[in-house]
């Protein structure tokens, strides 16, 4: 009887683990485009699964976690201004009791940088929150490393 109980417990536990898949509805891609010898633009693209969305960088307090970019300090480059984003979708979300701006399908964020070295890599972190009409996933962080040649 103990063997049967242990077997059933292992079977149930294995089934729960197999059904608990990690959701990753956002994929990130990176590129850099040199403007001239001392300037470049970083292109940070989020491809978002159908039905999901990520939020703008410009969300008021009390709302969802805004998308944010942190660039690792380096003597090779200096970020110029803030990371830009296209116009998003503005919508009132009951769960946050406020208007929020978000992006569906895909969005490209851009960051201009001043180059102090001809070839380098820009490193940093993106923090973002992804939701659909039924759930929000916990905020996530993704590290990036964008080579500039």
The strand pairing partners of 77, in sequence order, are 115
Write out pLDDT tens, residues 101-136: 999 999 999 999 999 998 999 999 999 999 999 999
Say yes or no to pLDDT of 19 above 50.
Answer: no
Tokens of 93: 């979300």
pLDDT confidence of residue 32: 97
pTM: 0.84
Say if 46 falls within a structural domain: yes
Say if 11 falls within a structural domain: no
Q: How many domains does the chain have?
A: 1
Say if 117 falls within a structural domain: yes
The CA angle 48-54-61, to the nearest 5 degrees, is 175
Closest CA to 80 of 121, 111, 43, 46: 111
Say if 18 falls within a structural domain: no
Cα 47 to chain centroid, rounded: 9
Counting every residue, how long is the chain? 149
What's the domain range around 28?
24-148
Closest CA to 99 of 112, 90, 107: 90
Say if 49 falls within a structural domain: yes
Tokens of 2: 């103990």
Write out pLDDT tens, residues 27-67: 999 999 999 999 999 999 999 999 999 999 999 999 999 99
Say if 13 falls within a structural domain: no
Q: What is the CATH number of the domain that holds 40?
A: 2.60.40.1250
């Amino acid at each position: 009887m103990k063997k049967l109980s242990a077997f059933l417990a292992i079977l149930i536990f294995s089934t729960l683990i197999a059904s608990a898949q990690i959701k990753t509805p956002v994929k990130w891609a990176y590129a850099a485009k040199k403007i001239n010898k001392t300037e470049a633009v970083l292109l940070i693209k989020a491809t978002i699964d159908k039905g999901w969305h990520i939020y703008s960088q410009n969300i008021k307090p009390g709302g969802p976690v805004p998308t944010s970019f942190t660039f690792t300090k380096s003597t090779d480059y200096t970020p110029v201004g803030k990371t830009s984003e296209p116009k998003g979708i503005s919508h009132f979300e009951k769960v946050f009791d406020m208007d929020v701006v978000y992006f569906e399908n895909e969005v490209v964020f851009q960051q201009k940088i001043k180059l102090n070295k001809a070839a380098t890599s820009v490193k940093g972190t993106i923090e973002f929150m992804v939701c659909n009409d039924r759930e929000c996933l916990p905020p996530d962080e993704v590290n990036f490393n964008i080579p500039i040649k």
